[in-house]
Structure 1
């Protein structure tokens, strides 16, 4: 068993496996890479429990750019991630996002749309009349405008994506090991490696923290405090007798979202801040659907007044309390330690670009394709948040 690597990546789901794949595929990198994953079944990984969707409708330019690369990657993934001629099927469906805004939210919707269009996102701004003509099943009460992704937005098989990234990385020589990273160790202001729960020490010149729920504790073991909190999010599924045709992934001003899923639909909503404590459990509160999600959903889409509930599950957002954007990249004062934490629900869709960027930083010492510096950890020390307004 090897106990020394050039790079150790902690967390083997979408982000960690994307870093591993992009690093192993870079001709400029010839080192050894280990991915540590404490649960190789991925049963409770955020990537596995996600609603698995992708959008360019963000308020921050960097997030728009990250997702524009993401959709290009998803389209090309069957070829990029093929192993021995076996091409992964990601079931990408570019059904679009539909953000609805009240009169109070119209200005923010318009501002976001300007950012998205400036960077080439294919997003249409729709006045109430256009919304009614395009979506006759929609109750437009209180809606002042909407933004619809015409291409490049939709949903996909998230499990297949990160399994394909993992398989491709392994085919390129990356080692995967089951084990829980207990601490990141350092000396003289530089990372030296990772101590595992079983006592094993794995030496490494670079350590990437892509540990999701465990990311804050790992950073703390290295003396770094990242304000990332675990927030439980529940997803509910249902079928309807008279489903609305052409439903995109719709986000209501109330925060409720819904999208097609197979022959039915899935939906959810963030609870109000006062009812959103840090949580590590996976229990589903079915009353939340009945009392909060369903009434808002049925008010906006009357066809959903009658539905049949299906299964439901809970996962977690690693929520960045500072500004709802991830911390990505190096940490001042600790050479060789890289962060990929606090994605606030956007990790799966952002994993292709984040993996590419961190791989470039490791192999070349700088970002080449897309400058991820706006997501750097230094914004916390400088108290310069880059707040993302569109967190679903």
Structure 2
């Protein structure tokens, strides 16, 4: 057996021994190094809670790495405990944020913890909240920035995936509610890493085209992670910067994304977004019919009032002294009232050879600028109506 020889070190005593540090001095030096290091003032650490002790002053626990090769002592003081999103639990992997402190009496360092999150989804939730707060501070979600939707849009753009069920649902709903509306499709990937840039390009494509009066950004329901692309800052800013109002219909009723918060209008589903985009043609027809009935009733009521006034004047006329001046004035008054009644009667105008030209929705045509070739119109005659189509506009 070979013996290992001893190695002797010969230390010389010199003047440098006078610079030796005390234990307190060395500890204070290490304390300054740790606590003033900018990397350690606020540091995120992940690990498994390997020990846990609830004390009257706070919660003391130990974090260990998954291989058991390193540990660090941690403390959450009672003053901070109510602000935690999660409480440390024995055997659970967590993500903590805190700063490193050194305690001189024991010569130990530990992590003073200010926040605790579950790993995975917890970290994603933190990033979501931080981005939401930053964008909110810029005013992107202010209600004062929300634009009103056009009442009767003629052209609507839809941004979603070509193979998504949302695209079929939107087409069906728009067709049922208003067959005359024109739909422009701007395809986009709405799931995965490529989705944010694809959605941004699709929105920019619609704005560059310039024909659409409204944009529907939609995706059907799914897992929470499937909707992450709608929390991307690039998508949020593209919606905010769009010159065309945007309705979002993303996921289910329980889902909410940052895209929903920045949109001018937020619907809970793609179908609901389509329903908000256009009024129902059938509802419009009924409302127009009701307005016509109310207008006709108002005219009839006015005619009755004027007739009653005329009858009253005739009665008063009979009781007036008969003389040429009074009779002439009464006749003139009667004539004026008669002319007034005739002027109020819309059928009298038609009987004189005039007709009323209306658009399909009932709006009266007053000038040729309102017309376009191929447009269908209705013409009200003294007796009945006819439907015509514009073949040429002369002036």
TM-score by structure 1 length? Answer: 0.17
Where is the helix percentage greater, Structure 1 or Structure 2? Answer: 2
Larger Rg: 2
**Greater length-normalized contact order (CA 8 Å, ≥ 6 residues apart):** 1
More strand by share: 1
